[in-house]
């Protein structure tokens, strides 16, 4: 974040910059200039952004911001600072000049970069808006995956193009009529491509390509204003869902990656709880669970179609029992069974011990690869420790 602010401040102070070499954006076909005589559409877009995203104040990005046409009214409406992210440093410095004239220079920041490789940390962005830009990205699918990466769980992205649901009907009709005319004129092929890229089916294909877990495509495209939710245009709305949810708020499930292995560590003050893991990027080669409990009367890992049930007895030498329920049929998962997994006890230093883990220790289990054969969407865990 520090680096971002420094860069933004440098841009703000240094005045107009030379065009960035990355500023390869071909630009819309000529003729779009004529649309400038119509009422300003950006405040209507901002209203929709706020209505559909309900963002928390914080770190907001306008991706493919150009001159901050969306960012500036967004600041004016909310007071929240906005970072423009665009390969075109020249356009953004114009935006910074406009912000200075409006007395908003302390709220508008600029960052040179592209959607496909954003210079931002994972899970850091509270709102990402992008208008009129995805249609120019070299790789929209990669860009959308990046957007998902940088969003904070619970934050939303609103990406697309259009005039906003509150845009006057007469103006939207004029704009659409003009575009239809241009599709018949000298620049017909360019305008046809312009319209093609802005179809909801295209947006749907990009979102599916990016494997966004949940999303909504709104609007019917560049030459329709028939969707009352957004008026003229097409938009993609999605939220980053948390990958891990615990049943009880006091329980913690943390993730650590070591090469091909992902280690999920569970702590549960009451000793009884559950959690669901839904990894967006799919399952790693090796999934290790560390359950920080003193005993494990019952432990389940369920994919929806297969349940693995484990128990560490509090008697009989802390014998481990493991059973698998596949297609409703429960069978023991003994060594040699594809669902067998060793349940180790580790002490507080992570050293293997006999029996139970003791104070500060944990149970460790490498989940059997067979559990992930069908690439389940989620894994639901449940645990009970009566040892307290
Ligand atoms: C038509 S302008 C839209 C500007 C502004 N958002 C608006 O709604 O008027 C498209 C913007 O997308 C930017 N752009 C092009 N390729 C990009 C990419 N790969 N990642 C991010 N922005 C990109 C361009 O530099 C340009 O500023």
Q: How confident is the model at residue 388 (pLDDT cuts 50, 70, 90)?
A: low
**Could you tell me if 190 and 275 lie in one domain?**
no
The residue among 239, 267, 296 that closes a domain is 239
Residue with tokens 């659409």: 176
Res 236 pLDDT > 50: yes
- Rounded CA-CA distance 130/324 in Å is 47
Q: Give the pLDDT confidence of 287-320 residue by residue, as tens digits.
A: 999 999 999 999 999 999 999 999 998 888 889 9
* Cβ of 69 below 6 Å from ligand 1: yes
Count of domains forming the chain: 2
pLDDT confidence of residue 126: 97
> Residue 91 sits in a domain of what CATH number?
3.40.50.150
The residue among 239, 260, 281 that closes a domain is 239
Q: Helices 140-150 and 200-209 meet at what angle, rounded to 10?
A: 60
Res 22 pLDDT > 50: no
Q: How confident is the model at residue 196 (pLDDT cuts 50, 70, 90)?
A: very high
- Rounded CA-CA distance 14/41 in Å is 30
Q: How far is the CA of 17 from the centre of ligand 1 (A)?
A: 17
pLDDT confidence of residue 6: 35
Query: For 324-353, what is the mean pLDDT?
Result: 94
**Could you tell me if 218 and 138 lie in one domain?**
yes
Question: What DSSP designation does 370 have?
Answer: G
**Could you tell me if 51 and 146 lie in one domain?**
yes
Q: What are phi and psi of 283, to 5 degrees?
A: -85, 140
Instruction: Please identify, by atom number, the ligand 1 atom nearest to the C-alpha of residue 42.
Output: 8
* Cβ of 251 below 6 Å from ligand 1: no
Q: How far is the CA of 63 from the centre of ligand 1 (A)?
A: 7
**Residue 249 sits in which domain range?**
244-384
Res 26 pLDDT > 80: no
C-beta of residue 324 within 8 angstroms of C-beta of residue 316:
no
Q: Closest residue (by CA) to atom 13 of ligand 1? A: 64
Res 108 pLDDT > 80: yes
* Cβ of 147 below 6 Å from ligand 1: no
Share of the chain above pLDDT 90, in %: 81
Res 79 pLDDT > 80: yes
Pick from 22, 66, 128 the residue to mutate for probing ligand 1's pocket: most ligand atoms within 8 Å of its CB: 66
pLDDT confidence of residue 34: 62
**Could you tell me if 200 and 339 lie in one domain?**
no
Buried b (16+ CB within 10 A) or exposed e, 279-305: beeebbeebbbbbbbbbbbebbbbbee
Instruction: Please identify, by atom number, the ligand 1 atom nearest to the C-alpha of residue 115.
Output: 20
* Cβ of 25 below 6 Å from ligand 1: yes
Q: What is the mean pLDDT of the chain?
A: 90
C-beta of residue 150 within 8 angstroms of C-beta of residue 122:
yes
Lowest mean pLDDT segment, chosen from 65-69, 214-218, 259-263, 300-304: 259-263
Q: How far is the CA of 171 from the centre of ligand 1 (A)?
A: 23
Q: What is the dihedral of CA 141, 160, 96, 153, to 10 degrees?
A: -60
Q: Closest residue (by CA) to atom 19 of ligand 1? A: 137
**Could you tell me if 28 and 157 lie in one domain?**
yes
Res 7 pLDDT > 80: no
Could you tell me which residue, 242 or 310, shows the higher pLDDT?
310
The alpha carbon of residue 303 and the mean position of all alpha carbons in its chain are separated, in whole angstroms, by 23
């Amino acid at each position: 974040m520090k680096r971002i602010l420094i860069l933004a401040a440098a841009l703000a102070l240094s005045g107009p910059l030379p065009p960035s070499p990355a500023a390869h954006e071909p630009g819309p076909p000529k003729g779009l200039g004529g649309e400038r005589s119509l009422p300003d559409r950006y405040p209507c877009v901002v209203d929709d952004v706020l209505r559909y995203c309900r963002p928390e104040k914080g770190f907001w990005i306008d991706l493919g911001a150009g001159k901050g046409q969306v960012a500036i009214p967004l600041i004016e409406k909310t007071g929240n600072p906005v970072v423009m992210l665009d390969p075109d440093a020249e356009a953004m410095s114009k935006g910074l000049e406009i912000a200075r004239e409006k007395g908003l220079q302390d709220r508008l920041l600029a960052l040179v970069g592209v959607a496909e490789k954003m210079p931002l940390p994972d899970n850091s962005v509270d709102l990402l808006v992008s208008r009129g830009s995805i249609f120019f990205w070299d790789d929209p699918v990669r860009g959308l995956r990046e957007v998902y990466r940088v969003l904070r769980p619970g934050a939303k992205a609103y990406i697309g193009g259009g005039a906003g649901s509150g845009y006057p009907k007469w103006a939207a009709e004029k704009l659409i009529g003009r575009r239809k005319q241009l599709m018949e004129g000298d620049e017909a092929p360019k305008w046809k491509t312009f319209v093609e890229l802005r179809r909801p089916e295209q947006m749907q294909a990009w979102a599916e390509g990016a494997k966004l877990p949940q999303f909504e495509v709104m609007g019917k495209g560049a030459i329709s204003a028939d969707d009352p939710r957004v008026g003229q245009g097409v938009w993609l709305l999605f939220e980053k869902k948390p990958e891990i949810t615990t049943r009880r708020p006091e329980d913690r499930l943390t993730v650590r990656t070591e090469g091909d292995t992902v280690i999920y560590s569970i702590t549960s003050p009451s000793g009884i709880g559950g959690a669901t893991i839904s990894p967006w990027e799919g399952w790693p080669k090796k999934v290790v669970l560390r359950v920080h409990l003193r005993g494990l009367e019952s432990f389940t890992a369920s994919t929806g179609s297969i349940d693995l049930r484990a128990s560490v007895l509090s008697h009989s030498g802390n014998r481990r029992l493991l059973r698998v329920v596949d297609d409703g049929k429960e069978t023991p998962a003994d060594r040699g069974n594809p669902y067998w997994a060793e349940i180790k006890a580790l002490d507080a230093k992570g050293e293997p011990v006999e029996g139970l883990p003791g104070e500060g220790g944990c149970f460790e289990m490498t989940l059997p690869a067979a559990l992930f054969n069908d690439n389940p969407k989620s894994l639901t865990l449940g645990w009970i420790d009566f040892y307290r």
